[in-house]
Amino acid sequence: MTRIPGTMSNARTSVLNRVLTTGTLLVAFTSFATLLSSSASADVIGKVILQDYRGATATPDGTEATKEIRYQDQVSALDTVATGEGGATQMQFLDETRFDVGPNAMVKLDDFVFDPSSAEGAGKISMAVGAFRYVGGKMKSDENVKLVTPTATMTIRGTELVIFVGLDGTTEVNVVSGAVDVDPCNKGEAVPAAQGQRVIVPVSCAASVTAVRAIPDDLAALDVPDDLGEFSTAAGGDEDGGGPGAGGPSNDRDRDRDRTPPRADPPQADPEPSPEPTDGDGEGEGEGEGEGEGTGGEEDPGTPK
C-alpha cells in the first residue's frame, strides 16, 4: 500500500475522542495517538478491493475534488464515498474489516484506526443513504467502532450486518452474524439484536425488532428495499404469506370474496312412482281423492244428507 505523508490533524483527534467509548484504557488511547502521529500514512484507513469499477467516487473532507476510486485505490479518513445508479464499491479497512456500498449510496468514512500489535482499534462510519454490508475484521475491541445513520447509532460485536438507509433516514439493520446494539435517535436506549434478527428505526424513532430479511449475495443487488420501514411487510405478513385483504384495509371485492355465500337447498329428487293400488288401498285412495276434489265445490244433489 502506498504511504501518504501526513500527521494527525485536530479533526482526526476530535473524531477519536468521540469514537472511543468511556472506559477505554488510557494506555490504549496513547498507543493510538502514538501510532497516528508517527505513522507516515496517518490519514489512510483502507483501500478498494472490488476489482470491477462500478462508478464509485470519493470526495475528501472540505473539498470539491471528487475522484474515482478503483481497485487498490486508497481511502482516507473523512472521505465521502458515493455511488450512482447501478454503482457499487467494496473497501477493506486497516484490520481487514470489509465494507460494501450498494447503488445510490453515500457514506462518510469519519475515521478508522487499528494497532496490529495489540489488535486494538476504533472507528466511525456515517451512512447517509443507501445499502451497506459491514463484516468485522481482526479488531479485538470492535465495540469501539460506531456505525451511524440519521436515525440510529450501532455498537457492534463480532458482527456481519446489512444496513439499509432510506431517503428519509429510516434505518433497517439486519444481523447476519454476531450481535448489535441499536440506539434509536441517540436516546441512550439501545435495542439489542442477535443473529437472524433485524431492527427497524423509522423517523419517529420507535424501533421494532423482527426476523432478518433475505439478503442478496450480489453486491449490485444490495439496494434499499421498497418496503423499508413497513413493519407488517418486513415481518413477513401472516403465515399464509399475506394477500389481498390480509392485514390491510379491505375493499368491496375483498368483502364480496370473503362473504359466505347463501347455502342453496339441495335439488329435489323426482318422486318415485306410487305402487299399484291393492283393493283396500284403492278404496281409501278413492275416498280421499273424492273428498279432496269435492271440497270447496258444489254438493252432489243426488247424495242424501
pLDDT in single tens digits along all 305 residues of the chain? 333 333 344 444 443 444 333 333 333 333 333 333 333 344 899 999 999 999 999 999 878 899 999 999 999 999 999 999 999 999 999 999 999 999 999 999 999 999 999 999 999 999 999 999 999 999 987 889 999 999 999 999 888 999 999 999 999 999 999 999 999 999 999 999 999 999 999 999 999 999 999 998 888 789 999 999 875 334 443 333 333 333 333 334 343 434 444 444 555 555 555 555 545 444 444 444 444 444 444 444 444 44
Locus of grid cell 399475506: 242
- The span from the CA of 238 to the CA of 235, in Å, is 8
Neighbours of 255 (CB within 10 A): 10
- Please, are residues 110 and 78 in contact by the beta-carbon 8 Å criterion? yes
pTM of the model: 0.64
Closest CA to 144 of 269, 25, 55: 25
Burial of 106 (0-12, 13-18, 19+ CB in 10 A): middle
Cell of 107: 457514506
Sign (positive or negative) of CA dihedral 142, 184, 19, 106: positive
In terms of phi and psi (left: phi > 0; alpha: psi -120 to 50; beta: otherwise), the region of 72 is: left
Residue 95: per-residue pLDDT: 94
Q: For the domain made up of 10-236, give the CATH fold.
A: Jelly Rolls (2.60.120)
pLDDT at 2: 36
Report the C-alpha gap between 32 and 69 in whole angstroms.
27
Domain ranges (residues) in the chain: 10-236
- Angle at the Cα of 142 from the Cα atoms of 139 and 145, rounded to 5 degrees: 120
Q: Is 247 exposed, middle or buried (0-12, 13-18, 19+ CB in 10 A)?
A: exposed
Neighbours of 22 (CB within 10 A): 4
Give CA–CA dist 233/10, Å, rounded.
46
